[in-house]
A and B are shown apart, each in its own frame.
Chain A
Amino acid sequence: MNLYLTDGSEEGFFTAAFRACTDADCVVTSARNVQLAAGAELIDVQTDAERCERVRRFLRRYDARSLGEISLLLRRGCATKEMTALGYLRLIVQRRAPVRDMLAHPAVLEAMSEIKKVTQEAHRFKGFLRFMECSNGIYYAPFEPDNDVLELLFPHFARRFAAMPFAIHDVARQKAMLSDGRRRMLVHTEEKVDIPLSEGEQTMQALWKEYYASVNIAQRPHEKQMKGYMPVRYWKFLPEKQEEPKRPQ
């Protein structure tokens, strides 16, 4: 059995897929902490532009849309994402046609449900992302998504806040995207970033908390539904879900 270890990039995956596609019981992964099974051979995949392009050309020919789908699959935050993508890719190779509507096929089912997890999270953060006004006038939003959705999310805010300087920071993956109204860029960051907030920021957060508390109808509690729509793991960066600091009477 072969184990292809990639660098986690799309190019790395397609390079590995070039061989792995017909390598029946192999494993492709980018997880650094993989357990090597007895008798398995580790292949450290070096990105190869030509092989990568040949796989992509094949996909463009038989199902161009699948390129976007595989790109989404590889944004999943789990160790088996490459295998899901490979299963989907193999089926396209085998049938030489789009397979996304074969919804009773296990490989398609898995691919579609994994894609959904990525796009759903990207959509959720369009709502759950919270910006803070910094003392230099930039609006800064830290978050920790399960999947690598920063690049999917950014265009939405770039349209919305076209005339406003802002930064979105994926704290766990240590990268941020910035826009100053004209230019956009992607930067790698330290684990902890210390950013001084503007004078009015605490006041606005307090007003927002006041609003959040007032708009609730206490006679109709339904906490389970709230947590279903807004999972607790996303609360970390929501001002309205932080404990109220003790205010002097």
Chain B
Amino acid sequence: MIDAERLKILTESAKYDVSCSSSGSARANKAGGIGNGYAAGICHSFTPDGRCISLLKILLSNRCSYNCLYCPNRADADVPRASATPEELCELVMAFYKRNYIEGLFLSSAVERSPDYTMERMTDAVIRLRKVYNFNGYIHLKGIPHADRRLVSRAARYVDRMSYNIELPSEKSLLLLAPQKSKESVLLPMKQLAEEKREDMEAKKHTVLPAGQTTQMIVGASPETDSQILRLSEAMYRRFSLKRVYYSAYVPVVRHASLPDKCTGLLREHRLYQADWLMRFYGFSAEEIAPDGENLPEAYDPKCAWALRNMQLFPVEVNTAPLEMLLRVPGIGTMGAYRILKARKFASLDFADLAKMRIVLKRAKHFITCGGKFCGAGSDASVRTLLALGSREETYEQLSLFSTPELAASALTGQL
């Protein structure tokens, strides 16, 4: 069994990778085997930084021959080094999994000796888990750039998800900060895997990457704008059918002249994720969310910012608006929109009904009417002020004993 010291080193080296989801694969348990996939994903714990632990996120080795500037494990860095054997790793995964600590394994590695050597050892570990330990839980495998494409194909048949990190949002930045990686070394395997998965699906075999591919990029280490980043994500979602793009706000672990020495604000990361959700679940395009060359505004969430730029489309009538339009109302999420669609079949909805249905009206009320009634602020300018981050709606009213019960109820919910 691996010792605590090496576990610590190999975990600390892996923790900056954001992806942790265990969703998308419903791999069944086999006779005599242990584990299965759970399509919705399961979080097993949460760390004090607010992130979930779903998978055992670990490196096979942090002895790296690459020298990416932003990376704490780069070859020139003076950090403790360690590696685990595939066998040690399998034992750890099984012991943790049987105790329900984890949903599976997220295996990554530094490029030790050569990309092929590294990829071979990682593949050895996952095949051993599947065949020797009969493990059918979730496995996410990080792809190593420049590794032989046959190795990549082989690995893809045993794991649920693979990811190549695009690392930085432009080729120029990649060249500057991660000189041994190239755009092709990341994008070509992604393309290859996307094609192999498509063929596998067409042949109805479903053995290649049931949970698809994801990628990750660091935000704020290089000068690209949010609009550039979102366009890149949009293109990757289209071309490689990616399941997710992860954004990671830059944390300076390493000091260097080419790198900023401040953390990128978490708000920027949060806004990018909001925008990403708008592209995937709300029918927005990158173009609509972030006009060319612009960053996302920090004061408003991206949907609200879009609505404020397009006030001519509002207000929409909640009782008749089509789903696509409801989804574009700031404050109404996918669940809220579906709830409205269901409820309005039975009765015309008013603001009190929406409040009872837990539709948050703080933003929505400025963009909707209920049965023709409008409850928002009078002018676009006042909507802007009211909704800007940090502004408080100071519109409390002293309730009299003789207030109507409906008013009292709405005062309790804080709406209207």
Contacts and interface: CB of A to CB of B under 8 A. Distances in A.
A58 interface: no
Contact of B50 (A157, A208, A213, A222): A222
Interface in B24-40: 29, 31-36, 38
B404 interface: no
Interface in B312-355: 339, 342-343, 345-347, 349, 353
Interface residues of B, number: 55
Interface stretch (B96-104, B221-229, B284-292, B295-303): B96-104
B48 A126 contact: no
A211 B36 contact: no
A127 B43 contact: yes
Contacts of B96: 204, 208, 211
Interface of B is mostly: loop
B209 interface: no
Interface stretch (A59-67, A72-80, A96-104, A183-191): A96-104
Most chain B CB atoms below 10 A, which of A102, A156, A216: A216
A225 interface: yes
A224 B50 CA distance: 7
B52 interface: yes
A139 interface: yes
Contacts, number: 149
A107 B209 CA distance: 44
B99 A102 contact: no
Interface stretch (A11-19, A22-30, A34-42, A160-168): A160-168
A131 B100 CA distance: 6
B251 A220 contact: yes
Given A126-B42, A130-B101, A226 B50 contact: yes
A33 interface: no
Interface string B3-47: 010011001101110000000000001011111101000111111
Given A126-B38, A126-B42, A226 B100 contact: no
A203 B103 CA distance: 20
Contacts of B49: 216-218, 220-222, 226
B172 interface: no
A229 B43 contact: yes
A53 interface: no
A159 interface: yes
A171 interface: no
A214 B53 CA distance: 12
A218 B15 CA distance: 11
Contacts of A10: none
Interface in A191-249: 200, 203-204, 206-208, 210-226, 229-230, 238, 240
B33 A163 contact: yes
6 contacts: A162-B33, A162-B34, A164-B34, A208-B99, A211-B7, A215-B57
Interface of B: 1-2, 4, 7-8, 11-12, 14-16, 29, 31-36, 38, 42-54, 56-57, 92, 95-96, 98-101, 103, 137, 251, 263, 266, 339, 342-343, 345-347, 349, 353, 356-357
Q: List the 5 shortest-distance A-B pairs measured between CB atoms, nearest first.
A: A225-B50, A222-B50, A103-B343, A214-B11, A104-B353
